[in-house]
Amino acid sequence: MDIRLSGISHSYGEVEVMRDITLDVPSGRIVCIVGPSGCGKSTLLRFIGGLERPDRGEVLQLGAPPTGCLNPLTYVFQDFALLPWRSVAGNIALVLEDHGLPRAQMDEIIQDVLARTKLSDFAQALPKQLSGGMKQRVAIARAMAVNPAVMLMDEPLSALDSQTRELLMDDLIGLWTRTPFTAVYVTHNLAEAVRLGHSIVVLSRRPGQIREVVHLDMPLAERGLGDPDLDRKQQYLWALMRDEARAADAELIHV
């Protein structure tokens, strides 16, 4: 299933935050969205998942979601959004309970996603016992449990320290390599974008518009820390964004 955004524009009151964004998210690819703060990256992601409505333009699902998909558009949040009163397994069960699956099948799904995210030993742990990286792995496991057509990842690694971020990027690449998934990945971190993105959408500062879409052909599994090709791409992206970022930084906050 593909996602198509056509002519998305949006304002918060007087402040225009987004202007005429048209974009395709092809199936089985990771599309990174980067841009200076306040350019509406996260808002765009909320439009795609239906948590907010744009003033103009529309978000279309092209084709049917794969069979066995319980929740086609599934988020992974920056702050994990785990229920602190439920165990790891319980948090994953939460998103399955409403679908009337037989108990055995639910258990099977939970076992499977825990195994894929290497969390099998922590099924009964409470979120307060987990490190930040583990919490985000639980959130990713939860997202995979509903077998989504598109994962909507809102700065999923931004709350983590840099070492944990490296580890999790490796995990994500491993997951994608085994079973390619479709994702829209919003980040302000260019290193993440060049490691994980099949294409990178650069937004301008407010009102957010698409400045350029950069495609990377190198397979995800081959991208490593300190790869010179990736460094060049990252520098190119930074050159595109530097002035915008500086100008955005100097703006007064309106909203």
Partner 1 sequence: MSEAPDTARRVAFRGGGFAPTPRRFVGAAVFILLIVLAEIGTRTGVISPLTLPKPSDVLATFGDLYRSGLLWKHLGPSLSRLAVGATLGVSLGISVGILIGLFSYIRAGLVPLVAALFPIPKIALLPLFVIWFGIDEGSKYALIAFGTFTPTVVATYGAVDNVDRTLIRMGQSFGLSWVSIVRKIVLPGAMPGILSGLRISLAIAIILLVAAEMLGAEYGIGAYILEAGALYDLERLFAGVVILSVLGVLVSMAIGLIERRLLVWRV
Binding site for partner 1 (CB under 8 A): 49, 51, 70-71, 73-75, 77, 79, 81, 83-86, 94-95, 97-98, 126-128, 142, 146, 152
Q: In angstroms, give the least distance from the CB of 50 to partner 1.
A: 8
Q: How far apart are CA 127 and CA 191, in angstroms?
A: 28
Q: How far apart are CA 125 and CA 87, in angstroms?
A: 5
Q: Are strands 2-12 and 73-76 parallel, antiparallel or unpaired?
A: unpaired
Q: In angstroms, give the least distance from the CB of 22 to partner 1.
A: 24
Q: In angstroms, give the least distance from the CB of 62 to partner 1.
A: 20
The strand order across the sheet containing 30-34 reads 73-76, 150-154, 182-186, 30-34, 199-203, 210-215
**Nearest residue (CB) to partner 1, 43 versus 204:** 43
Contact 172, 117 (CB under 8 A): no
**Nearest residue (CB) to partner 1, 25 versus 216:** 25
By CB atoms closer than 10 A (0-12, 13-18, 19+), residue 224 is exposed
**Nearest residue (CB) to partner 1, 23 versus 96:** 96
Q: In angstroms, give the least distance from the CB of 96 to partner 1.
A: 9
Q: Cβ–Cβ contacts within 10 Å for residue 111, how many?
A: 14
Q: In angstroms, give the least distance from the CB of 70 to partner 1.
A: 8
Q: How far apart are CA 76 and CA 139, in angstroms?
A: 6
**Nearest residue (CB) to partner 1, 103 versus 215:** 103
**Nearest residue (CB) to partner 1, 70 versus 175:** 70
